[in-house]
Amino acid sequence: MQYNSTRDNSICVDAAQAIKTGLSAEGGLFVPKSMPKVTLEEIDSLKDKTYNERAYFVLSKFLTDFTEEELWNCINNAYTKAKFETNAIAPVYELDNTNYILELWHGPTCAFKDMALQILPYLLTTSMKKTDESNEVVILVATSGDTGKAALEGFRDVNGTRIIVFYPDNGVSEIQKRQMVTQEGNNVSVAAVKGNFDDAQNGVKKIFTDNEYKELLNRNGFSLSSANSINWGRLVPQIVYYFSAYADLIKGGKITCGDRINVVVPTGNFGNILASYYAMKMGLPIAKFICASNENNVLTDFIKTGTYDKNRDFHTTISPSMDILISSNLERFLYDLTGNNDAQVKEWMNELNTTGKYSVTPDVFNKLSDLFYGGFSDDNETMAAIKSVADEYDYVMDTHTAVAKSVYDKYVEETGDTTKTVIASTASPFKFNQSVLIALKDFDYVVGKDEFTMLDELSQIGNTPIPKSLAELRDRPVNFEIVCDKDEMRQIVSDFLAVD
């Protein structure tokens, strides 16, 4: 399987090269040259397989330059009962005979980014070896919260890698901060940057574009890389769980192989929902894609009108992982919808860069509207969804999942569609305990309560144990107390790697 760039079809690399490079040199994203096809018989046979076997089935179709042994090694290091607290890895919970919740948050950081970031380090180090790269990879991350911790957990103690995460001193929640400063592992470092997320991100960008510094690192045996969500190695593992959910529905007798289902995905960067679209292109019977946004509803408008326009106010919401105005993975979708028209995609991305907006052609808009429904939910509607699902089903959702459920309910009301539907659940309710408690009780209820009290209370109300990784935070020693100015970040990297 070869990969092209969305902005230049003449670029053609294998999977290892695509994963090692991350972003194509001219700014495009790597996409498979053609979609591998699977048959209904193959899909049916997945019902009796483990998650790891299902992962092998899907990944082996895309990473054809990896040996069988290399691929199994990546998969078996990533998806273990020890890390996910369940053999199912991504279990499906039945709310009723139409609504099925695909729980993607059983990993070590309690959010769905673990599904990709647990395997990425192994895909990356294998890709380095395969491309004869002898340098050690140094992952630099600027984080506003979730990605930093998920990357730290993914890369910790992975041979041939080091990771440094910078977070804004006063820009992450108390629990997110604790998750990071108590990080364990012999190849990790964490530093707070005085300033906001933009300061941390700009500091990281500056290091990435400092050629002289990169040369110095290179002489010392280090190559910089990012764990960015546009890397093909982060997208491809996400295709797996849509097949897995479908196989579980067959296995449970809920559907017959070949029946079409709908999927609902709470969306930010468009990675997760794109993975479900790729699954459909491979042959998974999906009828409708319901793209759920919060008040940052740039995708809702795009799906309704065909115009993407990021020139709008940015809203801080109770589903912060979806507070995004540029959905980078949309580029891969447009490339597919235009029939791999690299020049067209490049033009739209240039327009987005210069004017902040672009409009797709009527042909692309028609294809899009046939398959996708876009909707959004404001914070009040999201809270109401948490409360009503808890009351009706005794099931507690996090705020991101609740955005999906709320938008799905609107879709059903508008269309009367009764197709069985998989709702992607992207975080554990414990991770956003304060907002969830306010939804279940009221605002006064949380006043003056610290994070750990709220975890305990949510555990009692929802009658579920606190995930191990969050419960343990209480007693974990703090390992990182570095606080730096934004112009000291390069020095922090040098100190950690002992170069200069």
Q: Which residues are catalytic?
A: 113
Q: Quote the DSSP letter at residue 157.
A: T
Are 145 and 167 in contact by the 8 Å Cβ rule? The answer is yes
Are 446 and 437 in contact by the 8 Å Cβ rule? The answer is yes
300 makes contact with ligand PLP (CB under 6 A): no
Interface stretch with ligand PLP, choices 109-117, 118-126, 135-143, 365-373 (CB under 6 A): 109-117
Binding mask 215-254 for ligand PLP (x = CB under 6 A): ----------------------------------------
Supply the minimum distance, in Å, between the C-beta of residue 213 and ligand PLP: 30
342 makes contact with ligand PLP (CB under 6 A): no
Of 262, 426, 428, 433, the residue at the interface with ligand PLP (CB under 6 A) is 426
Of 179, 183, 321, 433, the residue at the interface with ligand PLP (CB under 6 A) is 321
Interface stretch with ligand PLP, choices 44-52, 261-269, 337-345, 472-480 (CB under 6 A): 261-269
Interface stretch with ligand PLP, choices 106-114, 124-132, 161-169, 481-489 (CB under 6 A): 106-114
478 exposed, middle or buried (CB, 10 Å; 0-12, 13-18, 19+)?
exposed
The C-alpha atoms of residue 451 and residue 360 are separated, in whole angstroms, by 45
Are 193 and 169 in contact by the 8 Å Cβ rule? The answer is yes
User: For residue 154, which of 200, 191, 131, 123 has the smallest C-alpha distance?
Assistant: 123
153 makes contact with ligand PLP (CB under 6 A): no
The C-alpha atoms of residue 284 and residue 335 are separated, in whole angstroms, by 20
Supply the minimum distance, in Å, between the C-beta of residue 322 and ligand PLP: 5
299 makes contact with ligand PLP (CB under 6 A): no
Supply the minimum distance, in Å, between the C-beta of residue 426 and ligand PLP: 3
The C-alpha atoms of residue 278 and residue 238 are separated, in whole angstroms, by 10
146 makes contact with ligand PLP (CB under 6 A): yes
Supply the minimum distance, in Å, between the C-beta of residue 147 and ligand PLP: 7
The C-alpha atoms of residue 461 and residue 277 are separated, in whole angstroms, by 36
372 makes contact with ligand PLP (CB under 6 A): no
User: For residue 360, which of 341, 378, 374 has the smallest C-alpha distance?
Assistant: 341
234 exposed, middle or buried (CB, 10 Å; 0-12, 13-18, 19+)?
buried
Residue 114 tokens, joined? 């673990």
297 makes contact with ligand PLP (CB under 6 A): no
User: For residue 343, which of 4, 1, 21, 9 has the smallest C-alpha distance?
Assistant: 9
Interface stretch with ligand PLP, choices 90-98, 107-115, 193-201, 210-218 (CB under 6 A): 107-115
268 makes contact with ligand PLP (CB under 6 A): yes
Q: In terms of CB distance, is 4 or 267 closer to ligand PLP? A: 267
CA atoms within 13 A on the CB side of 139: 35
Of 109, 143, 189, 272, the residue at the interface with ligand PLP (CB under 6 A) is 272
Ranges of H-type helices in 31-168: 40-45, 51-62, 68-78, 81-84, 113-117, 120-130, 146-155
435 makes contact with ligand PLP (CB under 6 A): no
Interface stretch with ligand PLP, choices 22-30, 84-92, 193-201, 262-270 (CB under 6 A): 262-270
149 makes contact with ligand PLP (CB under 6 A): no
Interface stretch with ligand PLP, choices 25-33, 35-43, 268-276, 356-364 (CB under 6 A): 268-276
Supply the minimum distance, in Å, between the C-beta of residue 276 and ligand PLP: 10
Write down how long the chain is: 500
First to last CA, the chain: 41
Supply the minimum distance, in Å, between the C-beta of residue 347 and ligand PLP: 24
111 makes contact with ligand PLP (CB under 6 A): yes
Of 140, 190, 303, 427, the residue at the interface with ligand PLP (CB under 6 A) is 427
Are 71 and 60 in contact by the 8 Å Cβ rule? The answer is yes
**Which residues contact ligand PLP (rule: CB under 6 A)?**
111-113, 146, 266-272, 321-322, 400, 426-427
